[in-house]
Amino acid sequence: MLPTLNGRIQTRIFLLTVIGGLWTLLISPVLPGIGGGLPEIYRMTFTVLLTTLVLGVGWEFIYHFIQQFRWEKDWPTFFGLITVLNEGALVWVLLVLGVVPGLAGGVPFAAFAILFATTWVLVWLVANGPMRVPFVHWRFRGGRLV
Look at residue 115 and tell me if it is in a domain.
yes
Q: How far apart are CA 129 and CA 80, in angstroms?
A: 14
Domain count, the chain: 1
Q: How far apart are CA 124 and CA 19, in angstroms?
A: 10
Among 2, 143, 142, CA closest to 71: 2
Look at residue 130 and tell me if it is in a domain.
yes
Q: How far apart are CA 142 and CA 139, in angstroms?
A: 6
Look at residue 78 and tell me if it is in a domain.
yes
Look at residue 91 and tell me if it is in a domain.
yes
Average pLDDT over residues 84-105: 91
- Global pTM reads 0.90
Among 43, 41, 28, CA closest to 119: 28
Look at residue 117 and tell me if it is in a domain.
yes
Among 110, 46, 122, CA closest to 84: 122
Average pLDDT over residues 42-63: 95
Average pLDDT over residues 29-42: 89
Among 74, 104, 81, 68, CA closest to 7: 74
Task: Identify each DSSP E strand in the chain by its residue range.
Answer: none
Average pLDDT over residues 90-108: 89
Which sign, positive or negative, has the C-alpha torsion 67, 71, 72, 76? negative
Look at residue 19 and tell me if it is in a domain.
yes
Q: How far apart are CA 106 and CA 123, in angstroms?
A: 24
Average pLDDT over residues 25-48: 92
Q: Residue type at 36?
A: G
Look at residue 39 and tell me if it is in a domain.
yes
Look at residue 146 and tell me if it is in a domain.
no
Q: What per-residue confidence (pLDDT) applies to 1?
A: 54
Domain housing 129: 5-141
